[in-house]
Chains A and B, each alone.
Chain A
Amino acid sequence: MKKKINIKIRKAKEPLSKKRTPLNLKDRVLQQSNELKEGADREKQGADREKQGADREKQAEEQILIRNKAMEATTDAIFIIDAKTPNFIITYANLSFQNITGYTKKEILGQNYFLLYGPSADLRIIDEIKKTICRGESFYGEMLKFRKNGEKYWCLLRIAPVRDSKGVITHYVGIKSDTTLMKQRNLKIEEQREELLHVTRVGKLAEFVSSLAHEISQPLTAILSYAQAAQRMLKDREPQLQEILQYIINDDQRAAEVIKRMRYLLKKTKPALEPLDFNVIIQDTVSLILPQVTAKGKIVKFELDENLPLIQGDRIQLQQVVLNLISNSLEAMEENKDSHELIIRTSCKDADTILVQVKDSGSGILPENMKKLFTHFFTSKPDGLGMGLSISRSIVEAHGGYLNAENNPDRGAIFYFTIPLNKKDDL
């Protein structure tokens, strides 16, 4: 222990003794220049430190600059409101804020934020925003707003409080996104979906009436023939029976008339033929029901032939077929919780025909149901009408193709149909 301490003391003393007792000039010059060098080094270190500090400052400045530029560059409107004044004064607004609202920087800065909502703004929403942010909470909402020129736009607004180091709210920062285009697109999709569903409903009704008419016509034919036969057999005899038979005939014909009128009201419109890319038909149809697909936890996979030739067809009718097959597949997969995937495939069957396949991994088709699948009123669903597949088949056949189904070797079923590029004549 002692030894160690001694050594330390000696070492510490050594430079001192050297400084105080220089040996000769050479050594003194050397020592002084060393001292000077040390001093210069010290100065240099200090300068380095200063430089580092300056660099850091510069970096920080640059970062702030980039942040500012980023805020100016973004297509979302960003603004800052002073929270210390009661009037929600805007202290900052980026370029997009000016673009979206239509106000100039001069009109915005120093202005009460809520006055920019315009005279037609919904006061209840403004009140709710104020209350929320004054409570120190974030506001989040989508609303209809007005630009300076009165033009309406949809806006997704988020406002959050900014606190200083003591936790006091000093500002509010807001972001507005113009969602008008998105809204319009959603509305358009919604309209298309409604149109398709309407046409499908009318189509189902027409098909229903048509098959009902067919089924009822058979017994009406028999009744009429029997009554007319009996009338002839009783010719010139039994006037009372003759009269009754005439009533039967009249009422039979009245029933036939009702059916005829019902059919006329719901007569199927002839397909409006136009050149169509079936891949587009499929994608359009899927986009209409995608919300339901994802809600059920299923995935639609496309295997579309990029070189698929155009066909002649009726867009709405063919969309109906695709929609119907997809809906069926989804329902078939609903029972199996572990089946998710639905594959839609297009290909060229041959030079003049395209082939569309909808493959699911659902419960498949029972062998005894296979034959009845496309007949009217056949359904395996508790709430089904039994119209979907028979309508789909008549649409495909009206386009000159055929619709069929098979079970997959592993699981589920595949529905497929063909459409010729040029529909041949009926005969």
Chain B
Amino acid sequence: MPETALDLTPFLLSFKLAGITTLILFLIALPVAWWLSQTKTRIKPVVEAIVSLPIVLPPSVLGFYLLFALSQNSPVGSFLETHFGIKLVFSFTGLVVASCLYSFPFMVQPLQSGFEGLNPRMLEASYLAGKSKLRTMLNVALPNIKPALLSGLIITFAHTVGEFGVVLMVGGSIPGETRVASVAIYEMVENMDYGSAHLYSAVMLLASFSVLLVVYLFNRRHKRHLGWRDD
């Protein structure tokens, strides 16, 4: 009978992965979302479709392609390994790359719809005040989409924590390196260690609920602060 003591390493690994992914994605998704919200180009639907692909693709498909692309046998994988000494498959760095691809739409979409919901004349007023597009995005647009911004950050974080298929394919289950909480639980169930699986799952459930509750509480308070009626 295996012990059901709570080893926190998989959780810490999950949160570390989610934190790093969220931070990187915020920086990458912000300009993409802004561009998509402002552009009138005809190829916008194509770009939107590519951005949204990870939502529709089975994680195993994405994981398979990534495994294929990042392995030492592929040009990308061998280039990175020989020139930078970076090994992406079955490593934490590889997990970060995979998570960024997998969670990309979950950061872009809330930001984009937040930007698209802004009064275009508010942005024009900023241009007429002599402010550049970058300044307008940072000082006018971004502060006015706080709920969308928070949604994007939290959903990306939560989605990365909840990731399983891609992580398993690209990272495997190396303790302390790629063995995140969802993979750990899967292994416990496989080994019929239901006691640990229960404990770990309960922790995940509680943590996820708390995070989402905080988001919705904040959104409600933020609306009140802006003077919108809460109905």
Q: Say whether A and B bind each other.
A: no
